[in-house]
Amino acid sequence: MKRNPFVLILAVVFCMPVFGSMSSNEQWEELAARFIDEMPALSPVGATSMGDHRFDGQLDEVSTEARLNEAGFIRRYQGEMAAIDREKLDRAQQVDYTLLEHELASSLWTLEELQPWAWNPLTYTQLAGSAIYSLVAREFAPLPERLSHVADRLERLPRLLEQARKSLVPERVPQIHAETAIRQNSGVISIMENLVKPFLSSLDEKEQARLVTAMETATVAVEGHQVWLETELLPQAKADFRAGADIFDRKLAFSLNTPLSREQVRDRAQSEFRRIRGEMYEVAKTIYSEKYPMAKFPEEADDDYKQVIIRAGLEVAYQDLPPRDEIVAMAKAQIDQATEFVREHDLVAVPDDPVEVIIMPEFQQGISVAYCDSPGPLDTGQKTFYAISPIPEDWNETQVESFLREYNVYSMQDLTIHEAMPGHYLQLAHSGRYPSTLRAVLQSGTFIEGWGVYAEQLMVNSGYNDNDPRQKLIALKWLIRSVTNALMDQAIHVDGMSREEAMELMVEGGFQEEREAAMKWVRAQLSVAQLSTYMVGYLEHIDLQAEVEEIWGEDYTARKYHDTLLSFGSPPVQFVRALMLDLPIPE
C-alpha cells in the first residue's frame, strides 16, 4: 500500500548492455534480474522493507546529487528497455515489461515534475521512522545484528535531516503537510524508546555504548528538526495543497494504471453513489421493520425519507460499540472468525503466513485508521502486521464517541475483512507466491485496495455474521465510503471543493461520523489520486468477476475464480483480465 522511496546513493555507469545473440526473453530476464539487483541501492530503507538486507547499515541520501543520479538510473533503464522488442516476449514477461515501463515513467515524472522532495516534509519524517522501524519490526536476522544496523542508521540521521531541510522549499509546502510532519517527527524517538531501548542488554558492552550514543545523537537531531519544522517551516508553509487538473490527471493515470479517465471515474462514482444508497435504504427498511413490525413504507419514497430510514438503521448498528481500550483485542478475535468463515465457505485458499495485530507506529499516525503492512517480496516467512491507530489521548468524550460509533463492532468486522481476512493479508500472501520478484516490487495499489473493498462485499454477500442486516448495512456504508473517496479526491484537487462541502458529502451523503470525515479531509489534502484507488479497483474487480463467471459457466466456483485471480500477483486488473481470458496484453 505504501511505496518505498528509492533514491540512488551510488553513481551508475551509463552504458548500454551488449545483448549479443540473446533472445528477447533472455534479454528481458537479464534486464529484470539486474534491475532487482541494482534498484535497492536507490533507497537503503526501501531495500530493507523489500527484504534486501545488503544495505541495512546505510541510510538514504536525499541531496540534489542523489536525485540527479536517480534520474540517470531511470533513463538508463528506459534506454535499455527500448532495445527489447516487447512483442517477442512471452505473455507474463509482456506484463512485467509494461509494468516496469510504467513505473519508470511514473518515477521520473514524480522526481522531476511533481517534486515532492521540495514540498512534502512527510517524505522525510516517514523515511526517518521507517529507517529504524523496518530493522526492528521483523525478525529477519539475529537481534544484535539488527540493532547494530540501527546504530549505523541513527548515526547517519543528522545528515539525512540536514539534507531534508536543504531540499524543502518552505514557500512550496502546504500548511497541512507541515502540521502533519510536526506531529509525526517525534515518531523516531518513540521507536527508540519502545522498540530499541528494551533490548540493549542483548548487545555486548561495546555495541551497547555505541547504540546509546547513536540514540542520543539521533534524539538531538530529531529535536532540532522539530524546532525547524515549528519555527522555520510552518510559518512559511502557505502553498495550496490542491494539485490542479494537470497534475491530478497525470497522477491519476500513474496511480491507477487503468484506461479510465478522471471524467469516467466521476461518472461511475456518481452512478455507484445512487445505486448503493438505494441498497442501503432497502436493508435499513428490514432493520426498521424488525424494531417496528407494523411500520409501512411509501411506494415512492423521496431522498429525505430514505435518509431518515437509513440513519435509523445505522443507529441500531451503533448500539454495539467496542470498548475504547479493546479495539486491538477485538480485531484479533475477528481475524479468527473471518478465517473460519472463509474456510467453511471455501471462498479462497487460506495461507498459513503469520499475521499480528499491532498498535500503529507513531510516525505513521495521522493519515489513516489502519493499514496492512505485509513483508517485502524478499522477506519470505515474515509476519504481516495489521496496524490500528490508537484513539488520540487529547480527544474529548464527544470525539471519542464519534469515532467509536464509526468503528462500531460491525465496522470493525468490515475493517478486519478489508485489512486482513480475506482482504490485504490474504491477497498479499498469495501475491508473494508469484515467482516474479519484479512484479511483486511493482504491485498495483489499485488492484490491492480494490480487492480489499471487493472482499468486504464478498463476505457479507456470502452470509458473514449470520446474514445480520446490520452487518450488511455497515458493509454498504463502507462501500459508499470508497465512492465518496473517489468523488472527493478529484472534487477537492481539481474543482476546489471546500471543507464544508466535503464534510457534507461524507456525513450526509456517505453517513460517516464527524471524526471519520474530519480525518478523511486531512488525508484528502495530504494525498493525490490515492483515494480513487479503492472504488476504481473495486469496480474493476466486480466487472471481471461477472465477466469470468459468464464465460466459465458451469465450471465457475468462487474458490476456483479467486485462486486463479490471485495467482498472478498484484498487477493492475486489466493485466489479470488479459492473462485469465487469454486476451492481448495491454500496452
* Domain locations along the chain: 24-240, 327-580
Contact 138, 382 (CB under 8 A): yes
Residues 69-89: pLDDT tens digits? 999 999 999 999 999 999 999
Report the C-alpha gap between 98 and 85 in whole angstroms.
12
Cell numbers that stand for 197 in this block: 531501548
Q: Does residue 150 have a pLDDT over 60? A: yes
Whole-model pTM above 0.85? yes
Closest CA to 70 of 5, 15, 3, 120: 5
Q: Does residue 21 have a pLDDT over 80? A: no
Among 151-165, 166-180, 353-367, 416-430, whose mean pLDDT is lowest? 353-367
Contact 510, 356 (CB under 8 A): no
Residues 432-461: pLDDT tens digits? 999 999 999 999 999 999 999 999 999 999
**Could you tell me the pLDDT band of residue 12, with boundaries at 50, 70 and 90?**
very low
Residues 399-430: pLDDT tens digits? 888 888 989 999 999 999 999 999 999 999 99
Higher pLDDT, 364 or 410: 410
Q: Does residue 561 have a pLDDT over 80? A: yes
- pLDDT at residue 7 in the model: 34
Residue spans of alpha helices (H) in 110-142:
116-119, 122-136
> What integer is the mean pLDDT of 497-501?
98
> What integer is the mean pLDDT of 348-373?
85
- pLDDT at residue 366 in the model: 64
Q: Cα torsion at 489, 117, 389, 370 (round to 10°)?
A: 50
End-to-end CA distance of the chain: 24
Q: Does residue 175 have a pLDDT over 80? A: yes
- What is the per-residue burial (b if ≥16 Cβ within 10 Å, else e) of 220-253? ebbeebbebbeeebbeebebebbbeeebbbbbbb
**Could you tell me the pLDDT band of residue 134, with boundaries at 50, 70 and 90?**
very high
Question: Across the chain, what does the average pLDDT equal?
Answer: 93
Cell numbers that stand for 151 in this block: 546504530
Residues 305-331: pLDDT tens digits? 999 999 999 999 999 998 888 888 888
- What is the per-residue burial (b if ≥16 Cβ within 10 Å, else e) of 465-493? beebbbbbbbbbbbbbbbbbbbbbbbbbb
| H, E, C per residue of 212-256 | HHHHHHHHHHHHHHHHHHHHHHHHHCCECCCCCHHHHHHHHHHHH
Report the C-alpha gap between 87 and 81 in whole angstroms.
12
Share of the chain above pLDDT 70, in %: 96
- pLDDT at residue 364 in the model: 77
| H, E, C per residue of 261-326 | CHHHHHHHHHHHHHHHHHHHHHHHHHHHHHHCCCCCCCCCCCHHHHHHHHHHHHHHHCCCCCCCCC
